[in-house]
Amino acid sequence: MKIAVVGLGAVGGLIAARLAAARHEVSALTRGATLAAVRAHGLRLVAGGQETSVAINADDDAHALGVQELVVVALKGQALADAGASVQALLGSKTVVMPAMNGVPWWFLQTLPAASALTDRRLTSIDPDGRIAAALPLECVLGCVVHLTCSSPEPGVIRHGFGDRLIVGEPSGGASTRAARVRDALADGGFTAEASSDIRHDIWYKLWGNMTMNPVSALTGAPSDRIIDDPLVHAFMLRTMDEAQRIGAQIGCPITQSGEERMAVARQLGSFRTSMLQDAMAGRALELDSLVSAVREIGVRLALPTPNIDALLGLTRLMARERGLYPSAA
């Protein structure tokens, strides 16, 4: 399969390295120090105590890579609008675009049932001017949920942590040949790949778990186990999760699990630093809008109270603005 990965950070790098090792025709759209490192040394993957390197065609010009069968977009949410125009050079009439990104995607409300109370299907917190939707139309998109941990300690180097599960599915639900084909390609790369008939639910379920842990970790600098073990923080996170659970029930994404049960799953993973904490420590922009702002936006439009989500967003956003990790208020 001819595959281009847009963004060779932790997740994009892991997907690119594994698919290239499985002999798919993999290229990457990247730039700067990462582009230089991959051209000089290949894309290096550290897993199980061993380092391997794979050669991939990397470029900062999408036109040089050409039209692809699959485009994996592995950028931070705040970078997607600017990258959308470049990605278009990779698209043909049958190209599948799979965003492997955290949080609520720009298309999330576009596939709500016609009878939904939300008649406006835009998410202004994610795509305020419609640039993403214009560049990446819904018909080319395949949803994806990433359940794994990895990091990029230096440009062109990917360190795999734990987990290897990737879920793919049609934004409107149901099964499709293209979803099955992408699932099979990911399985070639050693991922535990699944094709879902309800990817919106899978997206909301993951969001429900990490929309609290990520910002709290960035605010406090604490790893996951310390956060879960603090009784006051634990209770605050449960209240926030309850609000998100109520929102999900109104948009076709009901969750039957309790917040305590979800916390128990996170506890089993041991002590880890979330991706948002890693970004904060490295001075990188924080991915707040797709994880928290979008949830609050939907809640407000449904007239559901979100006092705990409001507090989480306000505090984390202010911290990030003071450190130059989130755009300043207009």
CA of 309: how far to CAs of 19, 210, 236, 252, in Å?
Answer: 38, 13, 10, 20
266, 304 in Cβ contact below 8 A?
A: no
Phi, psi of 324 (to 5 degrees): 75, 25
d(CA 200, CA 211): 16
The three-class DSSP label of residue 209 is: helix
Q: Residue 27: CB partners within 8 Å, gap ≥ 6?
A: 3, 4, 5, 56, 57, 58, 59, 65, 68
Q: Residue 316: CB partners within 8 Å, gap ≥ 6?
A: 215, 218, 219, 286, 288, 292
| Pairing mode, strands 25-29 and 96-99 | unpaired
Query: Looking at 2, 76, 94, 206, which residue is catalytic?
Result: 206
Name the residue with tokens 């309790």. Answer: 258
76 is catalytic: no
The three-class DSSP label of residue 92 is: coil
Write out the catalytic residue numbers.
206
